[in-house]
């Protein structure tokens, strides 16, 4: 796939984006969910080797193809690795899956009800390396815990600042200001977030586009203005802690938004499964998330 093919697939492809980007801090939890208990590795290198093999098993699975999985977000170590001797981004592209890279380095402590991204002093070098490997775009995550306008404005401003840096390298940023689904002011957060994103979109140069990764809103259809915005290539949703059935049901209520799920995609996969069991279980998860992404509730679609 050329860049133009990847752009077209992200703009209008039927399917969803798999988030395979658990980083160092969340890797033990991801491995435990996969059936590998903490203590099964003696070093960080062994731990990362185990998570890489899990991701490789997903990528090489017959169930994982560009027919329903149109993109995949990678952790840097995964991007730098290989699947059966093929660099991971190239392995994804060969299956029709557009590769992205997680670029943020974690979160600052909470202030004004939000957690900004930590500094990324080596971002330019990472972007150059990623682009050379055929990676199409990036993903960066902040967290919004309460409806503090100043905090939310700061999160969105930082997201778009980094997004412009990504765009300057000829790559597509996925801007991810996650609203904590446990927030007591979640609906208000959604409203303020929409307003702040629209302000920042209006400030982008004409012809420039970004992608957005957002928590599923309390009120279905809240983010419809973003789905329709000419400066937004695609809006995708994170599962945010919802189990897959609930996440898919909420996703189906939001027309034009597709999934970018991590835990909801991987939650039933286990290390101990045979390859046939693994492929069948992954295929079932992919089918459910695909349905939530492309088959919308009649009440919303009407």
Active-site annotation, residues: 176, 213
**Residue 276: exposed, middle, or buried by beta-carbon count in 10 A (0-12, 13-18, 19+)?**
exposed
Measured in whole angstroms, how far is the alpha carbon of residue 244 from the centre of its chain?
15
Output b/e per residue, 17-36; b: 16+ Cβ within 10 A.
bbbbbbbeeebbebbebbeb
Among left, alpha and beta (phi > 0; psi -120 to 50; other), residue 241 is left
The full DSSP string for 128-193 is HHHHHTT--EEEEEEEE-S--HHHHHHHHHHHHHHHHHHHTTT-EEEEEEEEPTT-TTHHHHHHHH
Alpha carbon distances (Å) from 131 to 9, 59, 77, 126, 127: 18, 20, 15, 9, 6
Question: d(Cα 281, Cα 275) in Å, to the nearest integer?
Answer: 10
Distance CA 284, CA 248 (A): 13
In this structure, the number of other CB atoms found within 10 A of the CB of residue 168 comes to 10
């Amino acid at each position: 796939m050329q860049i133009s093919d990847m752009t077209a697939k992200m703009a209008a492809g039927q399917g969803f984006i798999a988030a395979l980007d658990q980083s160092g801090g969340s890797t033990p939890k991801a491995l435990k969910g996969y059936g590998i208990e903490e203590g099964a590795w003696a070093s960080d290198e062994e731990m990362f080797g185990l998570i890489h093999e899990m991701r490789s098993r997903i990528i090489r699975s017959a169930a994982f193809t560009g027919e329903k999985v149109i993109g995949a977000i990678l952790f840097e170590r995964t991007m730098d690795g290989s699947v059966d001797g093929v660099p991971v981004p190239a392995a994804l592209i060969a299956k029709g899956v557009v590769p992205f890279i997680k670029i943020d380095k974690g979160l600052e402590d909470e202030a004004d009800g939000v957690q900004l991204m930590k500094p990324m002093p080596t971002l330019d070098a990472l972007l150059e390396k990623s682009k050379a490997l055929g990676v199409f775009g990036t993903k960066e995550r902040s967290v919004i815990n309460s409806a503090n306008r100043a905090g939310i404005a700061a999160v969105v401003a930082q997201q778009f600042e980094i997004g412009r840096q990504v765009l300057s390298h000829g790559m597509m940023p996925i801007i991810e200001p996650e609203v904590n689904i446990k927030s007591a002011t979640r609906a208000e957060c959604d409203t303020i977030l929409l307003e702040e994103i629209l302000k920042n979109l209006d400030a982008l140069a004409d012809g420039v586009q970004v992608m957005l990764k957002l928590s599923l809103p309390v009120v279905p259809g809240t983010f419809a203005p973003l789905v329709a915005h000419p400066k937004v290539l695609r809006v995708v949703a994170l599962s945010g802690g919802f189990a897959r059935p609930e996440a898919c049901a909420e996703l189906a209520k939001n027309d034009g938004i597709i999934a970018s799920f991590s835990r909801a995609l991987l939650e039933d996969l286990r290390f101990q499964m045979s390859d046939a069991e693994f492929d069948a279980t992954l295929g079932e998860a992919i089918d459910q998330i695909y349905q939530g992404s492309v088959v919308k509730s009649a009440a919303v679609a009407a």
